[in-house]
């Protein structure tokens, strides 16, 4: 945000605005506006983000087949054939289920619906789509921080360059202050 900071509170006269009234049409307009914003967000969530998340998961899976994509405490979208993509539930991976070959085959996921108790579901790994806010980033940062020593760097304050007019004005102020101090000292001296 740009602009100046507000350093004072409005006076009581400014707070009372007698001409302003909230009418039912104003409230209805505001409600329609907020509803359209919510609808717009919801449409973009359904059409763009969830679809992109699924495709990114599919691409990562093919590229990183040797790595395990879903880890403990990851937040995932739980695939459900009976629900539309936008209404699928979010869950947290509580336990990973490994097959006889040692590969992750499924997971126990804790999901919650509004107004209901959280439940634990068992789902195959193919039906779980990890969301970008995974636990691995935080864990990796902690490992990196522990394994390396951080050398403190000397920080130089970043300031924008001063304008020539501002520099000139500062010099004039200092000169005026010096002249004022000199004239005060001369008037106080016994010779003045």
Give me the residue spans of the domains in the chain.
Answer: 24-65, 74-130
Over its length of 192 residues, how does the chain's per-residue pLDDT go in tens digits? 455 565 666 666 655 656 667 788 989 999 999 999 999 988 888 778 777 877 776 766 565 543 467 888 888 888 888 887 778 888 999 999 988 988 888 999 999 887 888 899 999 988 888 887 655 555 555 555 555 555 555 666 667 788 888 899 999 999 988 888 877 777 777 665
Q: pLDDT per residue over 16-60, tens digit each?
A: 656 667 788 989 999 999 999 999 988 888 778 777 877 776 766
pLDDT at 154: 60
Tokens of 124: 């195959």
pLDDT at 94: 93
Tokens of 104: 């992750």
Compute the distance between CA of residue 29 and CA of residue 70 in angstroms, rounded to an integer.
45
**C-alpha closest to that of 72 among 144, 142, 138:** 138
Non-local (6+) Cβ contacts of 54 within 8 A are 129
Walk across the sheet containing 119-124 and list its strands.
119-124, 104-111, 89-98, 75-78, 128-130
User: Which phi and psi angles does 109 have, rounded to 5°?
Assistant: -120, 130
127 close to 54: Cβ distance less than 8 angstroms: no
Q: Burial level of 109, CB count in 10 A (0-12/13-18/19+)?
A: buried
pLDDT at 19: 66
**C-alpha closest to that of 72 among 48, 51, 96:** 96
User: Which phi and psi angles does 96 have, rounded to 5°?
Assistant: -100, 135
């Amino acid at each position: 945000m740009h602009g100046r900071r507000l350093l004072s509170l409005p006076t009581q006269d400014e707070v009372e605005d007698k001409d302003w009234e909230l009418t039912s049409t104003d409230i209805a307009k505001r409600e329609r506006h907020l509803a359209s914003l919510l609808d717009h967000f919801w449409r973009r969530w359904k059409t763009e983000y969830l679809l992109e998340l699924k495709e990114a998961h599919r691409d990562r899976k093919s590229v990183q087949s040797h790595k395990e994509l879903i880890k403990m405490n990851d937040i995932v979208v739980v695939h459900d054939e009976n629900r539309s993509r936008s209404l699928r539930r979010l869950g947290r991976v509580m336990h990973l289920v490994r097959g006889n070959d040692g590969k992750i085959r499924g997971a126990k996921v804790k999901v919650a619906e509004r107004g209901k108790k959280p439940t634990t579901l068992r789902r195959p790994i193919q039906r779980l789509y990890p969301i970008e806010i995974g636990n691995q980033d935080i864990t990796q940062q902690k490992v990196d921080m522990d394994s390396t020593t951080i050398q403190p760097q000397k920080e130089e304050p970043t300031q924008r360059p001063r304008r020539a007019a501002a520099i000139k004005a500062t010099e004039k102020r200092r000169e005026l202050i010096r002249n004022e101090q000199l004239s005060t000292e001369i008037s106080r001296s016994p010779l003045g």
